[in-house]
Amino acid sequence: MTAVTTAPFGSWRSPISASDLTVAALRLSSGIALPDRTLWAEGNPEQRGRVSLWQRDAGGVVSEVTEAATNVRTSVNEYGGGDWTAAEDVVAYTEFADSSVWLIESDQPPRRLAGAPGLRYAALQLALPQRLLLAVREDHRGDGEPIQTVVALALDTANTDGGQVLAAGADFYAHPCLSPSGRLAWCEWDHPDMPWDQSRIVVTDVADPATTTVAAGGAGTSALYPSWAPDGALIYLDDSTGFWNFYRWHDDSTTALCPAEADFCGPLWVLTPVPYAVIDAHRIGCTWLADGFARLGILNLAVGTLTPLATDAVTASVSGNGERAVALLGFADRPAELCELDWVTGATTLLRRASGVHLEPAMVSHAEAVDWDSADGPVHAWFYPPTNPDFRAPDGELPPVQVWSHGGPTAFSDPGFNLAIQYWTSRGIGIVDVNYSGSSGYGRAYRQRLNGNWGISDVRDCIAATSALVEAGRADPRRLSIRGGSAGGYTTLAALTTSSTFAAGISLYGIGDLESLVADTHKFEAHYTDRLVAPYPDGRATYVERSPIHHLDRLRCPMLIFQGADDKVVPPSQAEAMAAALTERGLPVRLHLFEGEGHGFRQAQTIITVAQEALAFLAEVHKFRPAD
């Protein structure tokens, strides 16, 4: 039996190194189970974030489908998604280097299907009976905002024109899908809405695309993720009741399939495949959130009942149709697993683990649900206490705690195992991951709490999270820090300039100037702040008042800023201006600008540097000496 060592919080020796965050670490998302093989995509930090396609054949042999230089990504809406698809013996994908579209058919070498400077493609969907590939096309060749359309690319002829336009006129499109009878459905929305504010499902006949029908959505409703069932009905998700629930549209008639106070999908940030599986005309395989935890099960369309599948997963997503699907399952105590799922038996076959790092059960810090009341109602967070069986803190010492404010801000922090969190907790530093007002996963009303209140409600909730822990005797009030990326970086900066709660702040590609964000950001989020803050320019005074860069006289603590040099969502000028302003005022600040990184860090060395520098920074601020 190993003796337990007494050492200050933060000084515990951890089995997790910064390089462990990248070694054998993969970005896993969706997959497709075909009759003779199962395919999936994986991003590898050790290959500069390169995304490749892999398959497992019927004999269990795993091999890469794409060639060694291929990088399967798209930058439509800057966030991308839907950059590959497969059906029968055909695989289609986009190449990140030049946004071209490629086809692999019957194990033949890849051939270029479409591509021209200024054109990007996403939300790929094969329609093999018609020998077409559907896509959302984003055209950057003109002046002003890029133009989106739904296009069809022919599989057997050249697509020198960039594809046949099937739908145009809306500002944004997502998830085009074609029924066997030739009916086309898609999701669309317009400025100033985000897709979770208001969006529509539209249907047309490919033979007569000028005649369209709005099947769902609009008028304050978010309708997302259309998919055709074998009987010709259209399945989609709609939040008209306050939660994203399933609906069936057939012969111009709409049926609610399973009314529930639970979200069966999240906000549409990326154009990934629909987050459910049409098993047959009578069943849908799906996931849903209940009290922040994911459930996996089957929805019976005839009677509207949900049958959960037995699993110890706390997060889950599924993709692909038929009786076999691909599920990404996250657990409380171990890295996520990408599995082939049999809906009939409930059995899973492991395809890939997100990380090769194994922790002893006693070393794992499990997410604890923390809830409290605010002026807007209940608020939710996950607390990860310092955990290391080989160490204990001196009597009477309370741990440093770091608040994590997620991005979006319309996003969700789940309770799944995250090695980046364990990196901290195993060293004796607590993490509280806050699903502040405006987060998804708790219904439309919870998301809308942030409307007009960004920089206020989210900051209040992050501060309240620390108050709850301090009052419970689980955090040292003198050693609190806050960290966030993108929109979470804005919450971090706003918290530091409106309160004295935190002793340090870490911003990753965060927003310091809301007014500059409106001027510099991309089309997808060009009007996002109209609801979160105020319409611009009429509400300019609010933007100035809420921008941390105008209130640095209130900032009294050190800051660490990380930024990607190629970021198109939050341009580097934001981080540079923030660091320069802090330096001019004589405040301690460190800025790290990473070449080759965009919005969200993908490269191994960047991830390692961020972890090492953040630990050294907090050690200096909180006066502890890391064991490593």
Task: Check residue 628 and give its pLDDT.
Answer: 83
Per the CB < 8 A criterion, the answer to whether 372 and 464 are in contact is yes
Per the CB < 8 A criterion, the answer to whether 53 and 64 are in contact is yes
Q: Flag whether pLDDT at 210 surpasses 90.
A: no
Query: SS3 of 565, please?
Result: coil
Model pLDDT for residues 275-317, shown as the tens digit of each residue: 999 999 999 999 999 889 999 999 999 888 999 999 999 999 9
Q: Flag whether pLDDT at 23 surpasses 80.
A: no
Long-range contacts of 283-291 (CB under 8 A, 24+ apart): 283/343, 284/235, 284/246, 284/257, 285/318, 285/325, 285/341, 285/343, 286/246, 286/318, 287/316, 287/317, 287/318, 288/260, 288/262, 288/263, 288/264, 289/262, 289/263, 289/412, 289/441, 289/442, 290/262, 291/369
- By residue range, what is the domain housing residue 484? 365-622
Mean pLDDT, residues 129-157 taken together? 96
Mean pLDDT, residues 107-131 taken together? 96
- Cα 237 to Cα 274: distance, rounded to the nearest angstrom: 10
- Cα 451 to Cα 197: distance, rounded to the nearest angstrom: 10
Q: Flag whether pLDDT at 611 surpasses 60.
A: yes
Q: Flag whether pLDDT at 593 surpasses 90.
A: yes
**Reported pTM:** 0.95
Cis peptide before 273 (omega within 30 of 0): no
Task: Check residue 599 and give its pLDDT.
Answer: 86
CB burial string 573-592: b at 16+ within 10 A, e below: ebbeebbebbeeeebebebe
Q: How confident is the model at residue 25 (pLDDT cuts 50, 70, 90)?
A: confident
In a domain? residue 244: no
Q: What CATH number does residue 455 fall under? A: 3.40.50.1820
Model pLDDT for residues 444-489, shown as the tens digit of each residue: 999 999 999 999 999 999 999 999 999 999 999 999 999 999 999 9
Q: What is the mean pLDDT of the chain?
A: 95
In a domain? residue 396: yes
Model pLDDT for residues 219-229, shown as the tens digit of each residue: 999 999 999 99
Mean pLDDT, residues 317-330 taken together? 96
Task: Check residue 1 and give its pLDDT.
Answer: 55
Helix, strand, coil shares of the chain, percent, nearest 5, are 15, 40, 45
Length of the chain: 628
Q: How confident is the model at residue 574 (pLDDT cuts 50, 70, 90)?
A: confident
In a domain? residue 424: yes
Q: What are phi and psi of 308, to 5 degrees?
A: -65, 150
Neighbours of 153 (CB within 10 A): 24
In a domain? residue 178: no
Q: How confident is the model at residue 571 (pLDDT cuts 50, 70, 90)?
A: confident
How many H helices and E strands in the chain?
9, 38
In a domain? residue 428: yes
Q: Flag the least confident range among 8-12, 400-404, 418-422, 516-520.
A: 516-520
Per the CB < 8 A criterion, the answer to whether 419 and 16 are in contact is yes
Q: How confident is the model at residue 597 (pLDDT cuts 50, 70, 90)?
A: very high
DSSP annotation of 380: E
Q: How confident is the model at residue 364 (pLDDT cuts 50, 70, 90)?
A: very high
What are the distances in angstroms from CA 253 to CA 136, 234, 282, 523?
A: 27, 10, 17, 34
Task: Check residue 62 and give its pLDDT.
Answer: 97
What is the chain's alpha carbon radius of gyration, rounded to the nearest angstrom? 24
In a domain? residue 420: yes
3-state helix/strand/coil string of 7-71:
CCCCCCCCCCCHHHHCCCECEEEEEEECCCEEEEEEEEHHHCCEEEEEEEECCCCEEECCCCCCC
Q: Flag whether pLDDT at 433 surpasses 70.
A: yes
Per the CB < 8 A criterion, the answer to whether 111 and 122 are in contact is no
Model pLDDT for residues 174-204, shown as the tens digit of each residue: 999 999 889 999 999 999 999 999 999 999 9
In a domain? residue 259: no
Per the CB < 8 A criterion, the answer to whether 168 and 185 are in contact is no
Mean pLDDT, residues 309-335 taken together? 96
Query: SS3 of 230, please?
Result: coil
Model pLDDT for residues 393-418, shown as the tens digit of each residue: 999 999 999 999 999 999 999 999 99
Per the CB < 8 A criterion, the answer to whether 101 and 152 are in contact is no
Number of domains in the chain: 1
Residue 135 amino acid letter: A
Share of the chain above pLDDT 70, in %: 100
In a domain? residue 324: no
Give which of 483, 537, 546 is closest to 513, Cα–Cα. Answer: 546
- H helical segments located in 251-398: none
